[in-house]
Structure 1
Amino acid sequence: MKRLLLLHGYTESSATFAPLRPLLPPGLPVVAMELAEALADWRPLGPVNVASAARRLAAYYRVTAHDVVLGHSMGGWLAAYLKQETGCTAVLLSGFTHQNRIISRLRGLGVLRLVVQAGLLQSRWLNARFKRRYPFAESRALYGQLLDDTRRLSRAYLYQQLQILFAPAPPLTARPDLRLHARHDHIILPPTEFYVEIAGDHFGHYFYPQQVLAAIRPLLG
């Protein structure tokens, strides 16, 4: 049976899909993919990047070509490689298939590892600064909660996610089945490929789940 797999973004959890879940068709099997759980005891033989993490998720959640993976942000990046790995249907929600779409001045993994090890990404001072600079009133509280939650994440897990985002990855040959993106996303640049626009900002799916459902319903069968 076709399943809908929900794959969250960087430092998030499946809770960001909470407004969408009650709107989904009754009887549709839904699986919340939790990266922290899937990567907790992962011991990769090679480098950690989006492709190796996608292979881990494919095995952990037994993803098949019959599944639909709805990935937000970094989860969309992973969803594209899950499609390449398994043939599943990939829906990118404020996601990307090119790392140059990530809006970030800091990309070098060596520096990022030092930043994580020093605890800077989890510091109250830096998080307070990020909150003050956040531009969207609608999602400010949600963004602030996500920042506060990073203090409970292990540094190893934080660095795993940064490797997924920025480590060199093999070429992506599979094309996503659908891209959804908000024009006012200031974290991920809009795709250069065709996409369906949704309202809001980077967290538009949280505040406008009806628009997401309308777009993905034809893929759910």
Structure 2
Amino acid sequence: MKPANADPLAQLTEIRAIMERSSRFLSLSGLSGVGAGVVALAGAAVGHFYLQSHYSGGFPELIQGPIEGRRAALPFLLLLTGVMIGVALLVAFFFTQRRTKHDGQQLWGGPARRLALALAVPLVTGGLFCLGLYLGRDAGMVMPGLLVFYGLALLNASKFTLDEIRWLGYTQIGLGLVNMLIPGLGLVFFALGFGLGHIGYGLVMYNRYERPGAAGAASKSVVAR
């Protein structure tokens, strides 16, 4: 039982922290970001070598060439994308489940469901939009579109998880806008955003919240805002 003269400000801070933990999913693992980044880099490398072996000019020739060439490459690109998403989700599930057990949170509770929905709507919309670009006359905008829509998804989801994810969203949007000016470097910007961006973000989050001695930092960060 708390003493009658307990600090009211400390009590309010504790109540706020409890409310934040019940409304936000704070157990995102930084190692999930690192794993997703490694998967993205591997996928970009596979895509690069595939396109180099089928198109003398590689990625730039694909996006600038006739639509028949893009349609021929579409099954492989969709398969590669599906594999990358599947592996990245498995990695995220493994590390995030481990952290939720450590933090005493539910992996698929209310905050996690709200986070997933906030991510899913912009991602699915952006994926379908970029598929239309790929099959139309603006294939060079596919990579910028993927980066921008992913950045918007992260900004939308930041309301339901660690606030730092906003900066990864801003990074993706910025890279996408720059990539619009040089669409021939789409694979390079994909590797920068989805690969190195995730790895850098993941390492920062791991050092801030998960490394030994950082326990409780997530709650303190939330209360400080």
More helix by share: 2
TM-score normalized by the length of structure 1: 0.30
Higher relative contact order (CA 8 A, sep 6+): 2
Larger CA Rg, structure 1 vs 2: 2
More strand by share: 1
